[in-house]
Amino acid sequence: MSAISREDVVHLARLAHIEMSDAELDKMTGELGVIVDAIASVSEVASSDIPATSHPIPLTNVLREDIVGQTLSNDEVLANAPDSDSGRFKVPAILDGE
């Protein structure tokens, strides 16, 4: 396993939508490197014949009747919105320069 480079962290922070200063990127690069080195051993024991467990208690196809249950009103939903307009969430431009 290769250690995490600073370029990796720049890319990951972008993917995660977290703005980071140069100092934060430096610190995060060092910390993640140490953590990843410490946990990388899991890939040593995981051979191909072992099934993966994504959920601790076996459950399959939990279904319900397709009936509308209790829902929140428009006002309740928008009560915590940072910005809203005409009963909708209001956000800055989705695309650059538009």
Binding residues vs another protein (CB under 8 A): 1, 4, 8-9, 12-13, 15-20, 24, 28, 31-32, 34-36, 38-43, 45-47, 50-57, 59, 62, 64, 72, 76-77, 79-83, 89, 91-97
CA atoms within 13 A on the CB side of 7: 1
Q: Which is nearer to another protein, 68 or 94 (CB)?
A: 94
Structure-token pair, residue 55: 């959920």
Residue 26 CB, nearest distance to another protein (Å)? 13
DSSP track, 27-42:
HHHHHHHHHHHHHTTH
Q: Which is nearer to another protein, 42 or 68 (CB)?
A: 42
Structure-token pair, residue 1: 């396993």
